[in-house]
Amino acid sequence: MSATATREAVAETPPDTRGPTAREPMAILITGWVSIGAAIGGTLLLQLLQALAGPQVTQECVAEGVERDFTGAGGVCNILEAFRSRAQTIVLLLAIITGVSAIVAGFWRYRHMPSKRMREQCIAGAVLGVQGLIVALALLWVRQAELGTFVRVFFNIEVLEGYGGAFLQGARNTLLLAFAGEIGGIILGLVMAMLVLSKRRVVRAPARVYINFFRGTPLVWQLLVFYFGLALGLNLDVGAFQVAIIVFSLNTGAYAAEVFRAGIQSIEKGQMDAARSLGMSYMQAMRYSIVPQAVRRVIPPLMNEFVILIKDTALVIVLGLLASEYDLLSVAREGYSATFNSTFFVAAAVGYLAVTLPLIRLVNWVESRLRSGLTGVVGQ
């Protein structure tokens, strides 16, 4: 904000070095956009129009293996109908023709462009053309196959009816497992990192054994052994859900320990010198100077670990959870068992992406903030 304000105050903006544009490169760029737009946007638009027309089961649809009387037959047929329609053919042909045109014109002409902007427009148009062409050809190829069963099994949205609450509960449980595991893991990881950095071997060794063990064995093995082996085998009074949180904490702790260790070691040696020279003990220096700086540095890698953990919580599917404890994937499997329809798994994927995509964006944002300087994220 302040940077912009200062720039305005002195009325100084950097000169535009990219140069003017012209009709030809603009045309190439637009052609590229038309290609990718037709292939993806056109296809989606046709699907939407068909869906708005309401469900109907046609002869062609039945011929393709969709029986009349199962749940969601109308919706499945709509998808097929739109995909088989003449309009879809036109859309795909348009995407291919414009794609090839943009590729040929763009790659042929870009060297002759007199300005940077025009050159970039030619290249962008050609690249978009490649993408549009690939998508259109792929869709054409898929159209060759018999799609009735495929669409019925993966895209029968109606079978999900009545599972909304279960999916929401599943998403809640997935996040609960991931958050609890991450918090436990961060605490454990920080402690283990401190131990592993000790100059005393007797302190280092057990922490090292713990870290290497949990990094060196499969997470699914840890879940199985801790639940069926320890919890049930030793007749402990803990449920599968609690065991899962403990295992996720232990596992994340091992990885977080390495992240924290690297973060702590990345702090300049002078920081320890300065703190000790002021009379702080080693632990005080760690607590007030080294660790606060290291924590800021390891936020992005820790958030990446969290994204990984969210997906790894799906492994609780191997444990005997109560229905109320089901995570996203368990809910999907439950739905699949009842209907033998894989649309449930597609829905689970949507659920995971709904959580992970914003988080991935957040990680990238935090990383760029950290790279651009200490203030902002680090300062306060």
Partner 1 sequence: MNEDGSLVRLEAIHKWFGALHVLKGIDFAIEPGQVVTIVGPSGSGKSTLLRTINMLEEPTEGKVFFDGREITDIRTDLNKVRTEMGIVFQAFNLFPHKSAVDNITMALEKVLKVASGEAKKRAMEQLEKVGVAEKANAYPEQLSGGQQQRVAIARALAMKPKLMLFDEVTSALDPELIKEVLDAIKKLAEEGMTMAIVTHEMSFAREVGTRALFMDDGVIIEDGAPEDIFSNPSDERTRSFLSHVL
Q: How far is the CB of 373 from partner 1 (least distance, A)?
A: 7
Pick 358 or 376: Cβ nearer partner 1: 376
Give me the residues that bind partner 1 (CB under 8 A), please: 268, 270-271, 273-281, 284, 288-289, 292-293, 296, 373-375, 378-379
Is the CB of 60 or the CB of 273 nearer to partner 1? 273
Could you tell me the smallest distance in angstroms from the CB atom of residue 359 to partner 1? 25
Residue 159 CB, nearest approach to partner 1 (Å): 53
Phi, psi for 96 (deg, rounded to 5):
-70, -45
Specify the residue, 292 or 320, whose C-beta has the smaller distance to partner 1: 292
Q: What are the respective helix, strand and coil percentages of the chain, to the nearest 5?
A: 80, 0, 20
Phi-psi label, residue 66: left if phi above 0, alpha if psi -120 to 50, beta otherwise: beta
> Least distance (Å) from partner 1 to the CB of residue 297?
11
- Closest to partner 1 by CB, 56 vs 281, is 281
Query: For partner 1, which is the closer residue by CB, 235 or 380?
Result: 380
Count of other CB atoms within 10 angstroms of residue 341:
21
Please state the closest distance from residue 380 (CB atom) to partner 1, in A.
Answer: 9
Q: What is the dihedral of CA 295, 296, 301, 302, to 10 degrees?
A: 50
The residue (of 165 and 270) whose beta carbon lies closer to partner 1 is: 270
| Sign of the torsion formed by the C-alpha atoms of 225, 228, 234 and 240 | positive
CB of 299 to partner 1, least distance (A): 13
Residue 47 buriedness (CB in 10 A; 0-12 / 13-18 / 19+): middle
CB atoms within 10 A of CB 268: 10
For residue 125, the Cα-to-chain-centroid distance in whole angstroms is: 28
Structure tokens at 22: 């012209």
Other residues' Cβ atoms within 10 Å of the Cβ of residue 220: 15
